Structure 1
Amino acid sequence: MKRKLFLSWAVAFMVLPGLYVSARAQSQNSSAPTATNTTTEATSMSKPSHTVTGKDLAITGARSASHTTLFRAMRVSGLTEQASEKGPYTVFAPTNEAFDKLPAGTMDELMKPAAKAKLVKLLAYHVVKGKYTADQLQDGQKLKTVTGGTLTVGKQGDTLTITDGAGNTATVDPGDAEATNGFVYSIDSVLMPTAGAK
């Protein structure tokens, strides 16, 4: 899966009341194939990537071509300035393709000034307090979002998913990026807060 800076903007999104990394594409070793190299490459490709940015969420944000919609939503919602606040937080960041799956006109409506509160609520629903590595996320685990909602982790083999309160499931890119104030994972669908979420 491409995770070329996939978290970089998700990163900025990791800080609401403290919420909302940037994963650089990892170069593959192209040395001549040998039995040893083949084994090593196969092993490394099966393990989730982990990138440490050394920067806070604000600095590592705004660089991912895969998260431009999220970046725009962050700016409109006024949450970008909060991306440098202390965490830690774990963010499940929808890609541009994830936002494209929403019904036509949904994002246009959410970007209007009158819908700012709804947009903030939607973005914050993707943020969980604490740092969770892929190894720490377990099948059936319940995660509380900063809005008070609940996300459920699904883990079957190498496949990691997150299900929102309405039963919608997003596939999680198992690679993560670590900023100084949190982790970010890229997801292929937008998670929707239920009516009871704050």
Structure 2
Amino acid sequence: MDKEAAQYFVKLHIIAGQMNTERMNNTDTFYTLTGKSGEIFNSDKDNQIKLKLYGGKKKVKIIQGDIVASNGLLHILDRAMDKMAPTFESNTKQTIMTMLQPRYSKFRSLLEETNVGHALDEDGAGGPYTIFVPSNEALNNMKDGTLDYLLSPEGSRKLLELVRYHIVPLTQLEVASLIVIPHIRSLANQIIQFNTTNNGQILANDVAMEETEVIAKNGRIYTLTGVLIPPSIVPILPHRCDESKREMRLGTCVSCSLVYWSKCPANSEPTVSVMAS
């Protein structure tokens, strides 16, 4: 096992935050520092908590839990977790842009569209980088018309702002750092907030991370289940003011003798002719 594989294996045994056995008894899912999740079994006949990584084959048993340390809690297991391969492999010989193809091709195309991708494809100024990358599915799930608008000439400024919001320059953030720092400033000069759920899932602006700390030649990649939206471009879709709208309104009641002298609201159009009785 090489160094990177060993580090990944260790992270499969770490949960962000302090998840004690009481909390484990009240939930059925936990998240490791890699972003991978697992199942908690707390209703077995022996009354011992067991854990299993999703996609793994075996359960591990907590034989001693809630050992307090200066920086967290320890749970002693009866065996190691299953060795799992990362969904997105690190590669210190490839640049960020190269690694995003083809699985994260949609966000890669947005990087190319805004010319931000040039910096991420070389060891240029501003590097190294930390980049938060939405999956293709996350981009597909954006509100209807949003991507089309962002890719239009009218939406190009907002697209650039959105893309830059996913990048942190001049740093390679380790996943352990995301647990202790509340926020960081992005390339768009706007803040990304970090927090951790009670069962260890790490969030950026309340968007869940799928795979954490994927190492590239010129930075680190974190993949997301959603899209980070900078406050400066909200609402993304413009409010239209060039649409015609028609509605029927009940007019003011007047005496029949005055009907020809009564007035409708400005710019009204008659629907029927008024006939004298």
Mapped contact 2:161–2:188 kept (Cα < 8 A): yes
Distance apart, 1:54 and its partner CA = 2.0
Provide the residue aligned with 1:64 in structure 2. 102
Counterpart amino acid of 1:143?
Answer: I
Query: Of 122, 131, 134, which aligns to 1:94?
Result: 134
- Structure ranking higher in helix proportion: 1
The reply on whether 1:136 has 2:177 as its aligned counterpart is yes
Mapped contact 1:173–1:186 kept (Cα < 8 A): yes
TM-score, scaled to structure 1? 0.67
Provide the residue aligned with 1:159 in structure 2. 201
Provide the residue aligned with 1:106 in structure 2. 146
Query: For 2:160 and 2:200, how far apart are their aligned partners in 1?
Result: 32
Distance apart, 1:174 and its partner CA = 4.1
Aligned length, in residue pairs? 155
Provide the residue aligned with 1:53 in structure 2. 92
Query: For 1:144 and 1:43, how far apart are their aligned partners in 2?
Result: 36
Change (3 A) 1:122 1:49: closer
Query: For 1:51 and 1:145, how far apart are their aligned partners in 2?
Result: 23
What SS does the corresponding residue of 2:176 show, helix, strand or coil? coil
Fraction of identical pairs, as percent: 19
Structure exhibiting the larger radius of gyration computed from Cα positions: 2
Provide the residue aligned with 1:73 in structure 2. 110
Query: 5+ unaligned residues in a row in structure 1: which ranges?
Result: 1-32, 164-168
TM-score, scaled to structure 2? 0.49
Change (3 A) 1:132 1:50: farther
Mapped contact 1:48–1:176 kept (Cα < 8 A): no
Provide the residue aligned with 1:27 in structure 2. none
Query: Of 217, 223, 231, which aligns to 1:180?
Result: 217
CA RMSD in angstroms, aligned pairs only: 3.1
Query: For 1:49 and 1:162, how far apart are their aligned partners in 2?
Result: 19
Provide the residue aligned with 1:122 in structure 2. 162
